[in-house]
Amino acid sequence: MSVRFAVLVSGSGTNLQALLDAAGQAPFEISLVVSNREDAYGLERARRAGIRAVHIPHKCKSRGAFDAELVEVLKSHGVDWVLLAGFMRILTPVFLDAFPNRVVNIHPSLLPSFPGINAQKQAFDAGVRVAGATVHFVDAGMDTGPIIAQGAVAVHDSDDEESLRTRILSVEHRVFPMVMKWIAEGRV
Ligand code: GAR
């Protein structure tokens, strides 16, 4: 049976685009894209790919109430696995317990280094010579769940924060679709 993914986004959705491009030729399905932000360009990318795009606002709701709404929408679409592609909300146990060991995030650092926000800036400011991205299971902590795969990039002397961010993003676009395929093949 083919695996049904939902992708959650909050922004531009370049990682979502990489997932959509990879899903085009594969025996699995991205059933749904959800955003907490109505203006997230990721929703537009989904519509252009002919995939259902849903906006669920988070304002004036408790985290638990937002997560319960999210669960209801995903379950009503028969979603098996959830991929967080630049989704900038912390998920509570209300959500994680509904998809146990089935929620995966991409983070723009070589975890466990530089969790949290502005990971690329944290890496740049720390002067590391190798940076990268991590795909990991989501647990109740902040970017602490078990690591599935990582991609590394060199940091060049000529880099600034923006060029490093761009290089990390390009490795994200390779690693995340690779993990999505592994999941679909039952290898994760
Ligand atoms: C990506 O760099 C992703 O790793 C990061 O947000 C960006 C989203 O870009 N996620 C996090 O920082 C989560 N902690 P995109 O919307 O172009 O895919």
Q: How many angstroms separate the CA atoms of 20 and 55, rounded?
A: 18
Pocket residue to mutate for ligand 1, from 7, 9, 14, 34, most atoms within 8 A of Cβ: 14
pLDDT of residue 25: 66
Ligand 1 centroid from CA 50, angstroms: 23
Per-residue pLDDT at 24: 73
Q: What is the mean pLDDT of each run of 10 residues along the chain (188 residues)?
A: 93 97 83 97 97 94 94 97 96 96 98 97 98 97 96 98 98 98 94
- For residue 2, the model assigns a pLDDT of 87
Among candidate residues 188, 2, 3, 6, the one with its CA nearest the CA of residue 95: 6
Q: What is the pTM of this model?
A: 0.97
Enumerate residues lining ligand 1, CB below 6 A: 9, 11-15, 85-86, 106-108, 119, 169, 172
pLDDT score recorded for residue 23:
87
Atom 17, ligand 1: which residue's CA is nearest? 14
Category of 95 on φ-ψ map: left (φ > 0), alpha (ψ -120 to 50) or beta = alpha
Cα separation of 13 and 179, whole Å? 17
Q: What is the Å distance from ligand 1's center to 21 Cα?
A: 17
